[in-house]
Amino acid sequence: MTTILGLSGSLRRGSFNAGLLRAAAELAPQGTTIEIGSIRDVPLYDGDLEARDGIPPAVASLQARLKAADGLLLVTPEYNNGIPGVFKNAIDWMSRGEGLGHFVAKPVAVIGASPGGFGTIMAQNHWLPVLRTLRCAVWAEGRLLVSRASGLFDANADLTDEKSRAALSDFIAGFASSLSARQV
C-alpha cells in the first residue's frame, strides 16, 4: 500500500484547493491512499514559542504523518503570484527539529487550483527553491494547473469538471506509480 500525505494550503472552507485535494483522494488508484492532513491548527512560527514549549502538537502530528508517508502532495493556492504565507509557515514548522529529516529524499508533487487563467504556475514555481532546500525529491514528470476554477467546482467546492478530474486522476496515478517503483 502506498500512502501519500496531502496538504491544502488554504484555510478557507470553500477552498478550491481543499476540493482539489479531496478529489485527488477520491481518484487515487487502487493500492494508494491519500491521507488528508490539515494546517489549520499550526501556529505562526515563533522561535521563542519553540524554545519555551517545543514543537506544537499540530506540527508534531504532521511531522509523524510525513515520516510515515511514502510521498507528499502539496495542493497550493496562489496569492499575489506566490506561495500562501500560511502554507509556507506550516512547512517551515514541519521542518523544525527532527522534522527536517522527514523531508530529505521524500517524493513531493505540487498541484493547485486558481480562479485565474494561469492556474497556480507562479506558486508552484515558488515552491521549488523551498523543496530543494529541504532536499525533497520533487516529482516533475507531470504538472497540474487548474485554471478558471470557479467554473469547475460546485457550491461545496467539489471538483465536478470531468476533464479536470481526468487530468487529476492521470497526475495522481503517475505520482503513485513513481512511489511504487521506489518501494521495489
Which cell goes with 183?
A: 518501494
pLDDT (tens place) for every residue of the chain, 184 residues total: 999 999 999 999 899 999 999 999 999 999 999 999 999 999 999 999 999 999 999 999 999 999 999 999 999 999 999 999 999 999 999 999 999 999 999 999 999 999 999 999 999 999 999 999 999 999 999 899 999 999 999 999 999 999 999 999 999 999 999 998 887 5
Sequence spans of domains, the chain? 2-183
Amino acid at 56: P
Q: What is the CATH number of domain 2-183?
A: 3.40.50.360
**Cα dist. 17→57, 97, 111, 119, 149 in Å?**
24, 28, 9, 11, 9
